[in-house]
Amino acid sequence: MTGYLRKGLTVAAILAAATSSTPALMGGQTPPSPEEAAMAAADEKGRILSPKDMKQISDAIGARCTHCHVAKKPDGKPDYKAPSPLKETAKYMKIHFVDGLVTRDGKPLTCANCHAGKTRFLPHELLPDAPKSSVKGDRMELMKKMNVIAKSLGVKCDFCHAKGPDGKFAYELPTAHKQIAKVMMTEIVDKYKLKDGGELTCATCHAGKTEFLPHHTAEGGGEKTGK
């Protein structure tokens, strides 16, 4: 993460305990806002969001509370303070996306902006009716853009593009990764910007890695680095 989204790391987790460190921002240190400091203080006391806030989140992703809160107390009731992999993902998304981005016209984001009632909003399989690419405009300029995207994800062309029978890249062929990239460009990069007014790019979140979300074991620990 770079730019304003790094500043989000000062925000306490929304669901349970979270960090309260303040990393560097553009070469300097940015102190937390009064709101961020209050959230951090509340987190240290073990507080969580109100039931109303949690209801909005669960509605936004179309899931029940136990989708994230998987642990149970001895009496069988949900243990809302216990860690879980999906709680870590939710905290990360809140800190780095909801709190760090705004729409192009400056409106704040919510989980519903992207999820719209679904736990996953990106396609994970190639759609049967996925259209072939229709390259328009200057090819050299397009290649420059593709190189920037590849560098942002730390990959080469074959990560998204398939090869034809002759062994050469068939750039027009649809692939699952091309499909995801298109959704990210049209539904994220083109629609949102950094809260401080800066431009949102692939590198803002990916920073040289194909995966940017934290990945944890089923027990809720052992974070793995995205590839």
3-class SS shares of the chain: helix, strand, coil, % to 5 = 40, 5, 55
Number of domains observed in the structure of the chain: 1
Is 127 among the domain residues? yes
Mean predicted confidence (pLDDT) in 18-30? 39
Is 211 among the domain residues? no
Full domain range(s) for residue 162: 4-206
Res. 8 pLDDT band, cuts 50 70 90 = very low
First to last CA, the chain: 15
Mean predicted confidence (pLDDT) in 74-80? 91
> How many helices (H) and strands (E) would you count in the chain?
8, 4
Is 215 among the domain residues? no
Interval 28-50: pLDDT, tens: 456 655 555 555 554 544 445 67
Is 212 among the domain residues? no
Is 31 among the domain residues? yes
Q: Tell me what the pLDDT averaged over the chain comes to.
A: 78
Is 224 among the domain residues? no
